[in-house]
Amino acid sequence: MTTPSRVDVGFRSERGPILVALMLATSLVALESTILATAVPTIVADLGGFTQFPWLFSGYLLTQAVLVPVYGKLSDTFGRTPVLLFGIGVFALGSVLCALAWSMPALIAFRAVQGLGAGAVLPMAQTIAGDIYTVAERAKAQGYLASVWGMSAVVGPALGGVFADFWSWRWIFWINVPLCAVAAWVIVRNFHEDRPSGSARRVDWAGAVTLAAGAALVILGLLEGGQSWAWSSALSIGIFAGGIALLAVFGWIESRAAEPILPMWVLTRRVLITTSAVSALVGAVVLGLTSYVPSFVQGALGTSAVVAGFALATMTIGWPIAASQSGRLYLRIGFRLTGLVGAIPLLAGAVLLTRVEVGSSPWHVAGSCVLIGLGMGLIASPALIAAQSSVEWSERGVVTGANAFARALGSAVGVAVFGALANTALSRSDVTPGRSVPDATQLAVSVAPVFTAVLVCAVILTVCVALIPNRRQSESDSA
């Protein structure tokens, strides 16, 4: 790839329009993760299907995750632009179908279509940023992309509530169509990449299908186990057994494929193993906080939904601030030491979070989340950049996809573990889960082990960061 000579990473540089397009594309995925939550009551009132609505989120997350490694490999084969435009197009199609949905099952199915597009958009935005920016510039570029999540965490729920209350919940999906069109137009107009050189490369479709199917079953089992069915049920065991069997077949196929979808070297290089482990744990921590902090602040501390949302938003505000500045650190002291610096506020915030109880101030929770966000910004972005910087252009899509897949898998495992911990703690109180609303004390009791588990994840994450090779940069300074 040819990298512009200008050093400026901001919006006024030569690459500014591309950065805007990448942020816009990322906002599609980020907003869709938050905007729907506040509109669920209105959607249920219109379409029915109260018992089915959790699948609006599970189905989207499932399809978003399973094809990420496939999209990464396809981008290394055919280029970033076709894959990104395909993802934007599928996301737009899914949005239109969601806006036209006539029932809850239809809306769930169309959300799954959205997820198929989102699975290409997010890793491609990160990969293109890795292509057009040098190692020294990537931290600031990734900081811009991370800031989109912070803004979405604040704007998304409010925007969803406005659409649901004053217009129609269907506008939650219609609004995506012009945003997709603008993002695609800016990418086509401004991003010109060199096509992969060499002879035509074959696509390992057998590996792609078995990987997607196996991963889908495993993630489905993790997302719905203990909720839609018991962990020990025949259905749960069958789903996990089928998923593991398909992944075993996938491994056999990849060992013989000329152009494997997920090359085995991804699982053997230390820098990729450690950074993927970091990404998985980041996904688990973020999932635990986003799932339980608002409920705790609102239910146990007796605040409004706005205050509860603000307490969580402080994490997504601190994250991009730290991420954008992490480049100055890793260029001087290396990726590993930068991550260990970030582990200090991460661990401090996690410890403080375990000390909250009924009667604590919302500022206590917000301060904990700020520290965790600052730590994540100094860990997650440098870890991704370390992985991207360890390979050439022809392998960067696979590496970025594998990193994103690890984060999605970590989130799914987090759903299962944190949910089991909360339900177990709740069942030991005087409330039967699902039959009555717990009071403040009972809610605090149920959330406490989740916050402890977040601290355990933070400790393990610190260990994984300590194992990352401490190179200041793993490639030349030109991307």
- pLDDT(182) > 80: yes
pLDDT band of residue 9 (cuts 50, 70, 90) is low
Q: In the structure encoding, which two tokens stand for residue 107, read together?
A: 């809306």
Can you give the pLDDT at residue 12?
59
- pLDDT(96) > 90: yes
pLDDT band of residue 49 (cuts 50, 70, 90) is low
pLDDT band of residue 97 (cuts 50, 70, 90) is very high
Least confident segment among 114-128, 203-217, 371-385: 203-217
* pLDDT above 70: percentage of residues in the chain: 86
Can you give the pLDDT at residue 446?
80
Mean pLDDT (the chain, rounded)? 80
* pLDDT above 90: percentage of residues in the chain: 16
Task: From residue 51, give the alpha-carbon distance in Å to each of 40, 180, 248, 323, 419.
Answer: 12, 31, 34, 39, 18
Can you give the pLDDT at residue 200?
52
Least confident segment among 128-137, 215-224, 381-390, 466-475: 466-475
Can you give the pLDDT at residue 454?
92
Can you give the pLDDT at residue 196?
56
- pLDDT(477) > 50: no
- pLDDT(384) > 90: no
Can you give the pLDDT at residue 464?
94
Q: Are 156 and 312 in contact (CB under 8 A)?
A: no
Least confident segment among 325-329, 340-344, 403-407, 473-477: 473-477
- pLDDT(433) > 60: no
Mean pLDDT value of segment 294-320? 75
Q: What pLDDT, in 10s, does the model give residues 139-170?
A: 777 777 877 776 776 677 667 767 766 788 88
- pLDDT(478) > 70: no
Most confident stretch, 51-55, 361-365, 392-396, 435-439:
361-365
Can you give the pLDDT at residue 195?
61
Least confident segment among 32-41, 56-65, 219-228, 377-386: 32-41
What residue has token string 């209105």? 42
